[in-house]
Amino acid sequence: MSNLYFDGSRISPQKLIVFTLIVFTCIIQSYVSDAQNNQVVQVKAFSENLNIYPNLSLSINKGEFISLNENGAVFANLKSSDIPIQSIKLKDETLEVASWNLSKGILEVIIRKKNYIDKEIKIVNENGVGISNIQVQFTGKKKISKRTNREGILSIPLALNEEIKSINQFKIPGYDIKDFKNQDSVLIRVQKIQSEVEEDTQPIEKQSNQIVQKNETGLILQQLDTITSLRVFYKLLNKIQRDKLSKSSQAST
């Protein structure tokens, strides 16, 4: 076998064979790794009466929607991290998943009709930015209290014949509702209530007391000129709080 050339360099047949074996080994290991990390399961949908539920689209663990055929079945490729299954969502919002069971490579999903719809609510500030983790209270046929997610969104279940009619149905502790739009989803614009700072009256009262004490001390000092005996002098002096006097006043007494 003659030598081969690659990028101007000569490659011997032996090196080429070794290189080819390494490439094939890597490809095989990749397929084996994918096979170990994935599991093919058959998904089957049934009604609560165990009748086949055909032509549904569903999402497993928030993945892409997959479509079931007329027999209510489809094969799906699940990752090892998808098991155990955490959630199954239906594209048809009038339906919901009642339960599911995965056994021996078959995922059986029980479907039922909803008697309610989920209404999405988004709470934003004055700049249109969603406010996370705040309590929202709704009063309809039922009283509901839920918190917003990171995007400021929550959903509330409404009866099929129920509608949101008024902004007064919402209450958000700590916030004033400024704007309300009710379309496919509800958008509520709010403003945080600023707590009033209580005025500190203590410094004013302290200053007032100091003024009174100063006036009283000045009045007593003015009476010194009217003293006619030592007994009256000492009696008047005891009324004065010497630590409140200025140095000049203390010296004069």
User: Domain segments of the chain: what residues?
Assistant: 1-113, 116-192, 215-241
- Cα 163–166–172 angle (5° rounding)? 110
Q: Spell out the CATH class of 1-113.
A: mainly beta
Q: How many CB atoms lie within 10 A of CB 210?
A: 11
Q: pLDDT per residue over 169-222, tens digit each?
A: 999 999 999 999 998 889 999 999 987 654 454 555 555 555 555 555 555 555
Is 116-192 CATH 2.60.40? yes
Two domains, one topology: 1-113 and 116-192: yes
Question: Which sign does the torsion angle of CA 136, 138, 142, 143 carry?
Answer: positive
Q: Whole-angstrom Cα distance, residue 223 to residue 236?
A: 8
Phi, psi (rounded to 5 degrees) for 194: -85, 125
pLDDT at 136: 96
Top-confidence residue, 242 or 127: 127
Q: pLDDT per residue over 18-44, tens digit each?
A: 667 676 665 655 444 444 568 899 999
pLDDT band at 93 (very low <50, low <70, confident <90, very high): confident
Phi, psi (rounded to 5 degrees) for 114: -80, 145
Q: Whole-angstrom Cα distance, residue 91 to residue 74?
A: 15
Q: pLDDT per residue over 119-134, tens digit each?
A: 999 999 999 999 999 9
Residues 6 or more apart whose Cβ sits within 8 Å of residue 252: 221
Residue 253 has pLDDT above 60, yes or no: no
The overall average pLDDT reported for the chain is: 79
